Amino acid sequence: MADHISIVRTLSVRERTEVLRERTFSVLGRVSTSVRNSFNELRRSSNQISVHSPIDAETRLSISTRRPRRVRSGLHPDAGHSEKSGEKGGKSGKGEQGQDEDGVSTLDYVSAVYSRRSRPDSPSIYSNEEEGDDVRARLHSLSWPRLTMCLAVEAVGLGCLGLPAAYATLGMVPALLVTAFLGILSMWCGVLVGEASLLHPGVRDFARLGFLVAGKAGAVITGLWLILDLGFGTSGKMLTGVLALEEISGGKSCKIIYGLVSLLVCTLLALPTSFSDIAFLGYVDCVSIMSAVILTIAAAGHDAAARPGGFSAGTWVAFRTENPPSLAEAMLAVSNICYCFGAAQCIPTMMAQLSKPREYKKAVITLGTFMLVLYTFIGAVTYYFIGEGVRSPALLSNSPLVSKISFGLALPVIFISGAINTTCASQFLHDKICGDGDNRLDKAERSRMCYVIWVSLVVGLSLIAWVTAVSVPSFSGMLGLIAALTISFFSFTAPALIWFKLLKDERPWYVGSNLWNALFHGAVVLVGLFIMGAGTWASALELMHTWSNGKLWVC
C-alpha cells in the first residue's frame, strides 16, 4: 500500500512539473513575441526619430541591448569602458564618461548615434529606403583587396626611396633588424586600430578613437595630429615631385614652377570624395614604384658587376665599426625607416567605407607582410650594389639617364600618394564642419554647398602642403620629421594606448594575462615616444643644416 502511494505521489510530481514547464514556455513565447513586435515597430518608426534628439528610442534600445563580446588575446569590444569606469563616471556626474538620469553612458550614446550615421545597416539618417540603398552602395562598396591597395598607396611609396641611405648610415645588419622590428610592430598596432574601429562602428576617423580614449581633449589632440600628419605627407610627395621634375628636365626651369605643377596634379587627383572611386589608382601606384625601384636596382647591379672586382668590390658594410654614425645621424636613419610603415592613421577612415568591416584584418596583415618583404629587399639589395655612395632618394644614385627614367616611372606614385593624403584630411575636416547637416557627403543628393566646402578644403590643404614643400628642401629631413612627429604616434604610441583603454578586458592591468599584455604595450608606448623625441631632434638638425647652406623660394 505504501509503495502504491509513493508511486502515485511520484507521478503527481512529474505531472505538475510537466504542466509548469508547458506554462513557462508559453509565457516566455508570448513575451518573446511581444518584444520582437515592439522592436520591429521601433525599427519601422526610426525614420521619424531625429538623431538630434538627446537620446531617442532606437538609440536607447541599442544601448540597453548591447552585449559585450570577448575576443582572443584578452581583447574585448564594447565602448572601451568596464563596469567600474561606468560606475565611476556615474558617481562623478560629469565628464565624457558620465551617465544621464536614465543610467546611459554619454560615451555609449555618442557611439550609438555615430553608429547609426555610419553603419551600412542603419536607415535612420535616410529619408527613404531607396535613398539609403543608393548611399550605402556608394559609400560602403570598398572590398578588403581595395582597402589593401588604398593603404598601400599611403604606406608604400616615397619611404622606400630613402631606405638605402638609411641602411648605409646604420650598416646592413642593424638596418635589417630595425626594419623587421618596426615592420612587425606596426603590423600588430594596425590590427589594434582596426579592432577598435570594428568594435565601435561609429568610429570614422582616428580622432574619434582619441575621443574614446581621452574624451574631448583626446579628440582635439588626435585630430590636430592627424591633419599635421596628412599635410606633411602631401608636402613630402610634392617635394619629391619637385626633385623628380627637376631631374627629368635637367633643371631648366624654376623649382617654384615644378612645385606648382605638383600642386596642380595632386589637387586634381584628390577631388574624388569616395575611396572606392580612386582605389584603382592603387594598382597604378604599386606598378609605378615597383618599376622605378626595379630599374634602379637593376642599373645599380649592372654597374656593380662592371666595376673592377665585381660584386666583391662593393663598399657596403655589415656593421659601422669604423666611422660609426652619430646619435643624430642614427636617429634620422631610424626615422626614415619608420616613415615606411605609416598607414595606421588612415585605417579608421578607410574602414568606414568597407563593405565587410570584419575583413579589415586581411588587408592589414597582407599589407604588413608585403611591406616587410619589399622594404627589406629594396634597402638591402640597393645598398649592397651601390655601397656607401647611395643617395636619398635612391633614384639619384645612378647615371643621369637612368635617374631620369626612374623618376619618370615614379611620377604616378608621387602624385597619387600625395592626393590620398589630401583626400583623407579633407574627409575628416568636411565631416567636422558639416556634422549632421544637409551638406554631408553621405547624402544621396548632395547640395551645392557640400561641393563648395569639399573643393575649398582640397585646394586649401594642397596650398598649405605646397608652401611647406617649397620651404623644406631636404628630402631626408622631411621624411624624418614626418616620421618622428606623427607616424611614430599613429603607428606605435596611439595603438598601444588604445589597447589600454578600449581593448583590455575588464580586469586590472596587473591581473593574469593582462600583466604581460600591459608590459608589452607599455614598451610600445615608450618606443613611440623615443622615436618622436629623438627623431624630431635629429630631423631638426638636418633641416637647420640644409637651410644654412641654401636659399628658399628662389629658382
For residue 105, the cross-strand partners are: 99
pLDDT band per the 50, 70, 90 thresholds, residue 194? very high
pLDDT in tens, 475-497: 778 888 888 989 999 999 999 99
Separation of alpha carbons 184 and 372, rounded Å: 8
Separation of alpha carbons 522 and 257, rounded Å: 47
Higher pLDDT, 295 or 146: 295
Separation of alpha carbons 308 and 151, rounded Å: 43
Q: Is 131 exposed, middle or buried (0-12, 13-18, 19+ CB in 10 A)?
A: middle
pLDDT in tens, 317-354: 999 988 899 999 999 999 989 988 988 888 888 888 88
In angstroms, how far apart are the furthest CA atoms of the chain? 120
The pLDDT score that the predictor gives to residue 103 is 44
In this predicted structure, the answer to whether residue 365 has a pLDDT above a threshold of 90 is yes
Lowest mean pLDDT, pick from 109-113, 192-196, 301-305, 410-414: 109-113
pLDDT band per the 50, 70, 90 thresholds, residue 43? low
Q: Is 129 exposed, middle or buried (0-12, 13-18, 19+ CB in 10 A)?
A: exposed
Lowest mean pLDDT, pick from 19-23, 158-162, 236-240, 400-404: 19-23
In this predicted structure, the answer to whether residue 412 has a pLDDT above a threshold of 80 is yes
Separation of alpha carbons 488 and 225, rounded Å: 11
Are 374 and 344 in contact by the 8 Å Cβ rule? The answer is: no
Separation of alpha carbons 269 and 227, rounded Å: 18
pTM score, two decimals? 0.70
Q: Which CATH number does 141-548 carry?
A: 1.10.4160.10
What does the DSSP assignment read for 164-190?
Answer: HHHHHHH-HHHHHHHHHHHHHHHHHHH
The pLDDT score that the predictor gives to residue 54 is 41
Domain boundaries, the chain: 79-116, 141-548
The pLDDT score that the predictor gives to residue 130 is 47
In this predicted structure, the answer to whether residue 531 has a pLDDT above a threshold of 70 is yes
180 C-beta neighbours (distance < 10 Å), count: 13
Residue type, 395: L
Separation of alpha carbons 395 and 158, rounded Å: 11
In this predicted structure, the answer to whether residue 186 has a pLDDT above a threshold of 90 is yes
The pLDDT score that the predictor gives to residue 39 is 58
Q: Is 130 exposed, middle or buried (0-12, 13-18, 19+ CB in 10 A)?
A: exposed
pLDDT in tens, 224-277: 998 888 888 888 888 888 888 888 888 767 778 888 999 999 999 888 877 666
The pLDDT score that the predictor gives to residue 279 is 67
